[in-house]
Structure 1
């Protein structure tokens, strides 16, 4: 990855690390949990080779970006503000945006709150879901899934950090690579979620020990608290997003998900994505369900890159 350049940019009151390559229209690549900018290594090169300024960022709390100590500094307004500030810092009025996992969640809301700053969106793995008018997210999750559910366990400050600390960072990352079935989203009663995940004996073909070691080193430096604070802000986000109840996303958007993704198999996602309600929230939405698991930008790198280029190109004349 030596041909990719790195720097830190001031945005929304923090210093954000970015990895970039190429010249042309700005394309932002926004990672999820537990990842860093490096999850986009294939897409950075593919976009740059086709005339884009590809910029993959470390989200706040991750990698070489700042990690504010206050959990209240991780609301969806902060995260969207980081992307708006980054677009400004890079001297652009608009950007093409690609998001995965939590990065998809932030990218959906960037389009909801500031559609004027986004030319087109491709999101992976996590669909846009509307705000419930009645229940806070953690209230619903606790009632449906109990204390063993991973998001429920992530709510208490220090709990997940303590359970993660029983393993080295590389082992934690390996455990999350292999969460491949809906039954693994919740631990049995009295068991910490990370303890319920097996440590694989081998890696999937789409990643290497070296690549995971790089990411593990970043988590050894930053810790996991910043990334866990995204989950701890979910109820606060619910409160803040009240004014946008029922609002549609008007930005041209495409959603890609693997048919073996743990999210596809859970929460009624298959029915939701294939139904009309989701498309009604994002008029004109394109959906692609393909063979693959959760980290589809790595597992199906060539396909995902081609879909991104095609979708953006149709909206830019490239």
Structure 2
């Protein structure tokens, strides 16, 4: 039935990718999750979009959930990840798709629009804007934030894996998915996972059972695959040199929570609101809503309606 979520494993770019699918007719919508998430992060959007005439697919990205997780960090480059996505689009025999990305999934979506703009009809990205390529490599930028900055701690192979392993996976999920901090920077000598607090109670937008679903998948897959996205940042910076200064011309709606740690820190709010962001993405609409980082879950109805209103502004006869 179209109302049910169907699960497949699709062969793409040399790996097996787990894909959740809802709906079977209408334009194809690809939902790309972030860290530390899964296809399940889009459960609310999948149900709503499929009811409104869209064919929705949400994969577990390379290294996550039930998708293959190569051990070599070099297998997590921007080209590998986008290659996985192109193979997935080809599997569903779509010439163009609507794309919705969040967090790392937003980064993947930006890359997709740079490398293969012919395959993207329109884009909705959440939380992470399109930043210009820095003149210096990311690791040199991140050093400015100190040793306690979470990305710096993720760089060393095995370090974050060891610190995360001190906690049960459900606690790890609660620490990250429910965070309300203004920065992800631990004090000197403290691991980021120790710095993050474990909430004593759950907010109304997520249940213990839903958190258990995330935890069960990460318990099996571990966190090395997700960490490898961070470990490839310098290499990706080198790979992206041919696109230095390039803009993204795909029609785009960008949605961000006003309490998002990424929005409130590192000059991101000013970048988004000053016009610098729109200069890089000329066909851009920005929506700032009340919420934190994981807004497609926290503010599911609002985000879904924003996505749907944007997608509905395009003809549905694309293939």
Q: Same fold (TM over 0.5)?
A: yes
TM-score, scaled to structure 2: 0.97
Following superposition, the deviation at residue 177 of structure 1 comes to 2.3
Q: Which residue of 2 aligns with 1:17?
A: 18
1:107-159 residue CA offsets vs partner (Å, 9 max, x unmatched):
011011110000000000111111112x11011111x2111000000000000
Contact 1:261 1:294 in 2 (8 A): yes
1:243-272 residue CA offsets vs partner (Å, 9 max, x unmatched):
000001011001000101111111101100
Superposed, which structure 2 residues align to 1:108-123 within 5 Å?
108-123=110-125
Q: Which residue of 1 aligns with 2:92?
A: 90
Work out whether 1:236 is the aligned partner of 2:235: yes
Following superposition, the deviation at residue 181 of structure 1 comes to 2.3
* Aligned-residue CA RMSD (Å): 1.3
Q: Which residue of 2 aligns with 1:168?
A: 168
Q: Which residue of 1 aligns with 2:213?
A: 214
1:60-103 residue CA offsets vs partner (Å, 9 max, x unmatched):
00000000111000011111111111100111111100000000
Work out whether 1:126 is the aligned partner of 2:125: no
Tell me, in whole angstroms, the C-alpha distance in 1 between the residues paired with 2:7 and 2:58: 10
Q: Which residue of 1 aligns with 2:190?
A: 191
Contact 1:164 1:194 in 2 (8 A): yes
Q: Which residue of 2 aligns with 1:308?
A: 307
Tell me, in whole angstroms, the C-alpha distance in 1 between the residues paired with 2:167 and 2:267: 32
Following superposition, the deviation at residue 317 of structure 1 comes to 4.9
Gap runs ≥5 in structure 2: none
How many residues are matched?
Answer: 315
User: What SS class does the counterpart of residue 262 from structure 2 fall into?
Assistant: coil
From 29, 39, 56, the counterpart of 1:37: 39
Work out whether 1:203 is the aligned partner of 2:202: yes
Contact 2:38 2:59 in 1 (8 A): yes
From 52, 56, 62, the counterpart of 1:50: 52
Gap runs ≥5 in structure 1: none
Q: Which residue of 2 aligns with 1:28?
A: 30
Contact 1:107 1:123 in 2 (8 A): yes
Contact 1:72 1:233 in 2 (8 A): yes
1:285-311 residue CA offsets vs partner (Å, 9 max, x unmatched):
000001111110011111111111111
Tell me, in whole angstroms, the C-alpha distance in 2 between the residues paired with 1:182 and 1:306: 27
Tell me, in whole angstroms, the C-alpha distance in 2 between the residues paired with 1:177 and 1:44: 19
Q: Which residue of 2 aligns with 1:8?
A: 9
TM-score, scaled to structure 1: 0.97
**Where does structure 1 differ by over 3 angstroms across 4 or more consecutive aligned residues?**
none
Following superposition, the deviation at residue 178 of structure 1 comes to 3.2
